[in-house]
Amino acid sequence: MKRKPTVVFSEWAESGRDERMAQGHQRAVANMLEYSLKDRKKYRFIDAGCGNGWVVRQLKGQPDCIAATGVDGAPKMIEKAKSLDAESAYFHVDLEHWSPQQKVDVVHSMEVVYYLQDPRAFIQNVYTNWLNTNGRLIIGLDFYKENPISHSWPEDCGVSIMRLLSEKDWISYFEEAGFDSIENWRVDPKEGWAGTLVITAIKTSS
């Protein structure tokens, strides 16, 4: 029987699978962070779908990072993040409807957005309520139409919500939200694996 992603990921936090997941995403996330932070000075950062908080822990000691916050819909992931890092801010939230008290400069999300009920609403919410002017959203996706090997994952993982969309669909969500300077590329493609799809853009209006 398929279950909600937040239920499945809470179990992963308890079983230790979250650590293997973080290891598997390291190369793509390193690529995304290098690109999104290379010209940033004194920035505020949110990791949307932070899991056990590994990206937040990585950034919190960086000299230009004023604040790094982790948010996730899986309660056990947030519990684990807090247990590993009592100093940073972690929140159990509904990503589609939550908004931070203070807007930020970079929103990062790796392998999360397609688990949401309405990914378009999330991207719009980030644009409207999360980002400062000239702020950047960057997302990484392994589950998408152009990566056929991923198409069996909803059955393999027993997850009830996984939105299988094309690269063009994802880009259109950024366009509809109002983002500018939209860019996309793939990290580590190889035979039988299309690579991690990265999409990023800037909010230029206030």
Q: Could you report the per-residue pLDDT of 22-76, keeping only the tens digit for each?
A: 677 899 999 999 999 998 999 999 999 999 999 999 998 899 999 999 999 999 9
Residue 197 β-bridge partners: 141, 186
0.85 exceeded by pTM: yes
Domains and CATH numbers, the chain: 5-203 (3.40.50.150)
Q: Could you report the per-residue pLDDT of 149-201, keeping only the tens digit for each?
A: 999 999 998 898 999 999 999 999 999 999 999 999 999 999 999 999 999 99
Sign (positive or negative) of CA dihedral 139, 108, 5, 16? positive
Closest by CA to 139, choosing from 113, 166, 168, is 113
DSSP state, 94?
A: -
Distance CA 194, CA 192 (A): 7
